[in-house]
Chain A
Amino acid sequence: MSQPIGAVLVAGGGIAGIQAALDLANSGYKVFLVEQQAAIGGVMAMLDKTFPTNDCAMCIMSPKLVEVGRHANIDILTLTDIESIDGVKGDFKVNLRRRPRYVDLEKCIACGLCAAKCPKKVDDRFNQGLIQRKAAYVLYPQAVPLKYALDAEQCIFLRKGKCGVCAKVCPAGAIRLHEREIRQTLRVGAVILSPGYRAYNPAGLDYFSYGAHPDVMTSLEFERILSASGPYGGHLMRPSDRRAPKRIAWLQCVGSRDQNHCGNFYCSAVCCMYAIKQAVIAKEHSEHPLECTIFYMDMRTHGKGFEDCFNEARDKHGVRFMRHRVQAVRPEKESGRLALRHLGESGKVQTEHFDIVILSVGLETSPELRQWGQGLGVELSPGGFARIDDFNPTATSRDGIYVCGAFAGPKDIPQSVIEAGSAALCAGADLVAGRHTLTVRAATPSERDTRGEPPRVGVFICHCGINIGGVVDVPGVRDYAGTLPNVVYVADNMYSCSQDTQNTISAKIEEHRLNRIVVAACSPKTHEPLFQETLAAAGLNKYLLEFVNIRNQDSWVHMNEPERATAKAKDLVRMAVAKVLRLSPLSEELLTIAPAAMVVGGGVSGMAAALALSRQGYPAEIVERDSALGGQARHLHQTAKGDAIEARLGQLIAQVQADPRIRVHLNARLTKVEGFVGNFKSTVAVGATETVIDHGVAVIASGAQESLPSEYLFGRDERVITGLELDQRMKRGDRRLARLRTAVFIQCVGSREPERPYCSRVCCAHSIVAALHLKELNPEMAVFVLYREIRTYGEREALYRRAREKGVIFIRYERERKPRVSATPEALEIGVVDHALRRPLTIPADLLILASAIVPYRDEQLAQFFKVPMNADGFFVEAHVKLNPCAFATDGVFLCGLAHYPKPIDESIAQAQAAASAATVLLAQRTIRTSGTTARVDLRVCSGCGVCVSLCPYKAPSLKTQGPLAGKAEINPVLCKGCGLCVASCRSGALQLQGFDDGQIMGMIEAA
């Protein structure tokens, strides 16, 4: 094959697609992000909060949206469908149909006049039809691209040829009423599919009265109701009469685990957690006591932090959990409430009344999407998701096409983000020879030395169309700015962020020898980087800029008081000029990155991470404590999909050993780690031999282990074994297994206990796979699984179903009433109370298998070495639960596998590849720049008290140990994050935060 095309097409702009696009674009590939809707964001943009931390979805997502939106190497193609893909890996031709937006993306300034004047109201699908929007619309307020579109199905002009009001009112002349659909073919080296899912539509389930009564709604509709930017502004109301509800019910497994009504046999994996989240948030939103009840089959809280969330919802927030089957929901005319009939395990039918009934709808692939996927040559699983392999968890059946997110099976946001990283890594690895061939790198001109120049301030005031200019007297503010000291140039611009104004600013900096710039416009949070780039392009240090927010924090919030808004704008500009006069150029540290990785741990995760890095062209050193590679997988028999692990593991180990870029250190331990991102220096000891490794990044894949139970006669009777021991026997082909008359599994041994509250995630599927294997060996064998909750999430649900079909008997027990085990020479006797018959039962068993917990190693030293945190359970804590699940907050250190949380092999490999992808993003930069906004010590004043050293969470300050200034503080600008905590706490006033120093802030205060 000739050189592959260094571009990747990502199909679907939800959170998975966004993450994949960013990983690829930031590691040297051109990305086309194709989205069917008018803006990217997907379902996550619709969510109010995210479990288990109840973070605001939009707040955590919007920085990613902005980054994608302004990325020089990502082209966003909205309103675009993929029709077909020709070609092969390295050289695909993707045929696109680009539907018209009817709005010129270049010209639209998102002022909203078209929508304001548009006469056609339509159901707002983003808000689940709970309110209306106009036919000229923007998908949601934070949409990227923030450009309006005309709804082709609804627009009066487009349907009837009359109207066109939008074109008349648009101040930018952006409306293109005669735009046509176009076909386009893109050439890319790889494709990532991330089209997402659709929520199950419960309209067919008439016994729930969905569609018949507005207060019966889907969980996604309720999510919009909870959202502050939703139809009710975040006020909790029931749609029928806009009154506050007093009782809300959630019905789980609507459209999931239900072969009869909807055909979706699988578990949607996210509904239990989102119902818990919604119940807790609803209670918080409610002004009066709100009763929340969740009706469920099994509570599946198998993720990191999920079980805690479940326990808190029940114990602290008083959410009621009912393991009851709901038979019907009927509206009652008289009371205006919803009567809900439910059936308990005892067989008793009860009726209760609720104000809102929420159907926790599952995730599914629409028939159109299935057809589309198959049309692209992607094989599907029984559930209608892209079929993937446990050891290659994001590769589809078509070479060079990868998949991530809910199209590869129902999953939550972190798992989608992990798969996005994995898919990006695989796609990038296919195209290494084409890296940096299609990307652009902005050239930065040399910086002008402004030292010694008297301040010459240029002030640019933005009208932002009518957003600012319609309220604030912009020319008045401009003239006022001209009277301020050292201001030598003032201007007002219609759109300061537009490319032409950016060019003007550059020209004026040149022409008037400006050396300080004030921009009064929207928010620095969204636009400061843009103007900083403009300054840099004009040869001015980018820190010589002060941004004044006169839109979000002035014209938009004081719309009815134009005079006072103008006065406020003048004050804010005066404060900014006072600050900008005191700014000085700041330097960023440029660090060269050592292009190598160290991987701590040689299990499946560690090996997958090392191989992934090697495929990207980076050498990796594996440090393994044991005498062999393979980790826990050496003890495992089969994956949930039925793959024999031993053979696959053997291949993986052989691949690692054959890889010239990977070096393995067995029986090794880390004795010392120095340095920081880009330049770590670690010492590895094997016996008495020490090796020093220079590496730019580190991947922690240090694993976890099976706990050894202390209960159920384990260790005292040889007929009691752990799940891993059974796997070993199966692997050995132990003939005694087939002769067993009765085998019993006990689940949750050591998990979900007060002293170890988390769920070990893998044991349910693992035991059921083993139970099925036993049944295969001997169909006459009686196999029992004693469980508390069966958590076969996703398509693993099929295993649970098959096990029941094959006659495996499942008996539920309560934590308060555990099974009792006693031994006689003939058999083990296992006593349990049957949950269905409510009668005690004694099972004589030949073998008892304990599904014991997965416990982390609690490697405090490793945590210390890399300054990474560990949670109460002993697992490492990622940078962000949702959006950064395989990196640490410490730059340059990444995380995967069991050290993060218990997970099966496919998820471990995906996370390893995602960690490698995040590491590749860093390594591909070759150098990194730190921020110039860092603390600095005035050594003349420092008394060496060490307060800064003790305060800083990043360990940036230290006391000098050598030289004439020993004992005084110094700041490592590479570690400093620029928060200013040490500065505000310095007793001597020796510390200053550059860009926010005391003089600058005092200047602003005095000018206020």
Chain B
Amino acid sequence: MKYHAKVIVTLRKSILDPQGKAVEHGIHSLGFTSVENVRVGKFIEFDFEARTYEDAKQLCTEVSDKLLANPVMEDFTFVVEEKRERSQ
């Protein structure tokens, strides 16, 4: 079965995010002054083959934990879906 994963990597809450702060200033300059707590993260998606949905989640966890995110400073969440042929 073919699967599609969407992984979101974010800086841990305890870690200062200067990039998020800079973006926040930009948003304020746009005039949206009520916007706060801006954090910048990463979005990664990929396709892969797995036997079952459980296997697919397992693979995605491993890829995220070992490479896509560094647990010292980042958290990750992901969504795994079956990839249907020819649909989009």
Note whether A and B form a binding pair. no
Chain B interface residues (CB < 8 Å from chain A): none
Chain A interface residues (CB < 8 Å from chain B): none
